[in-house]
Amino acid sequence: MSDQDPLLSAKDLSIHFKLRGGGLFSTQTLKAVEAVNLDIPKGSFFGLVGESGSGKTTLGRAFLKALTITRGEVQYDDGEVEYDLRNLSKENLRDYRKRAQLIFQDPYAALSPRMTVRDIIAEPLEVMGLTSSRQETDERVREIAARCRLNLEHLRRFPHAFSGGQRQRISIARALVSNPRFVVADESVAALDVSIQADILNLLKELQRDMGLTYLFISHDLSVVAHICDHVAVMYLGRLVETAPTRDLFAAPRHPYTKALLSAIPSLDPDNRGNNQKLEGEIPSPTNPPPGCKFHTRCPYAIDICKQKEPELQHSGIEHDVACHRWEELAEAE
């Protein structure tokens, strides 16, 4: 199996939630993720971007088997085991929890203030029954703490004694202590200062190399994604609208939504400053999405067909897919 084989593969994946409506017995369906087809290559640093409300966190949670899948399937294959995430036995689910982990966004809220760093990092090992003695647990905790650049002295302290960057290293150590293959990092550097962000991103990259990890890196910050990810998928209102290797996506974005997100990144190039395609309006409610292309209410290029027919993801280059009726025309006009 090559490095590019998918670790996770989603087909027609949909996640819907039933919500209480206005009336006593009425309900609404929130389509948080709809008909997503996506492969996450083994060993990749896979970026998932979009505005708040695009469904990226829900998709990440579905890959962790933390949510019920409404429709479609997700296959996991790390070379050692193969799982269909919709049909996991209790035993396989327990094993999958060890293989798929989450790094939280907020390093301040994620750590219990009443536990020492040693106990915080050791907890997953104890809950999952992965070690058979305290000595074995301590060895594993020390090993992962060292990989995450924490020292022995840190293990005796409580989280309040640490800065944001150090707390995030504790969160990362906790997520990696079970030796997972797949890690969802959900806005994991968003709460940190820019200088600390670089330190944490370099650590994630180093750990990926040393531990053979595959990341799903969820972020609204495209400049961070450009720096660290090798593949990117762009989501809008529960749908994938564009996926590509990072270099291609940034060099030649196809979807008007991707272009608008990219043009919002502050540019240091004075020739580039006049090129901004500002993203107007708000993302519509996923309980009442517009018909046709979900982006048509904000797209400056929308025509009649966009309001009637939903575009499907289609190949626009090697590994580069886009869901827009007009992408070829728009690319020629550039």
Torsion sign over Cα 16, 43, 215, 130: positive
Least separation in angstroms between CB 231 and ligand SF4: 21
Least gap, CB of 10 to ligand SF4 (angstroms): 22
Both tokens of 63, joined, read 């890959």
Query: Does residue number 196 form part of the binding site for ligand SF4 (CB under 6 A)?
Result: no
Task: Between 55 and 60, name the residue whose CB sits nearer to ligand SF4.
Answer: 55
Q: Per-residue DSSP letters for 278-300?
A: ---S-PPPTTSPPSSSTTTTT-T
Q: How far is the CB of 70 from ligand SF4 (least distance, A)?
A: 24
Total residues contacting ligand SF4 by CB under 6 A comes to: 13
CB of 242 to ligand SF4, least distance (A): 10
- For helices 164-176 and 194-211, give the axis angle rounded to 10 degrees: 20
Query: What residues between 285 and 314 interact with ligand SF4 by CB under 6 A?
Result: 293, 295-296, 299, 301-302, 306, 311
The Cα–Cα gap between 32 and 283 comes to 13
CB atoms within 10 A of CB 175: 23
Q: Which of 306, 289, 299, 307 is nearest to 54 (CA)?
A: 289
The footprint of ligand SF4 on residues 227-286 (CB under 6 A) is: 255-256
Return the number of the residue (45 or 295) whose C-beta is nearest ligand SF4. 295
Nearer to ligand SF4, 207 or 306 (CB): 306
Name the strand (E) or helix (H) holding 8. Answer: strand 6-20
By CB under 6 A, name the one of 97, 167, 169, 325 that touches ligand SF4: 325
In the complex with ligand SF4, the residue whose CB is nearer, 181 or 296, is 296
Exposure letters 141-158 (e unless 16+ CB within 10 A, then b): bbebbebbebeeebbeee
Q: State in angstroms the smallest separation of the CB of 297 from ligand SF4.
A: 8
Local structure of residue 196 (DSSP, 8 states): H
Residues forming contacts to ligand SF4 in the complex (CB under 6 A) are 255-256, 293, 295-296, 299, 301-302, 306, 311, 324-326
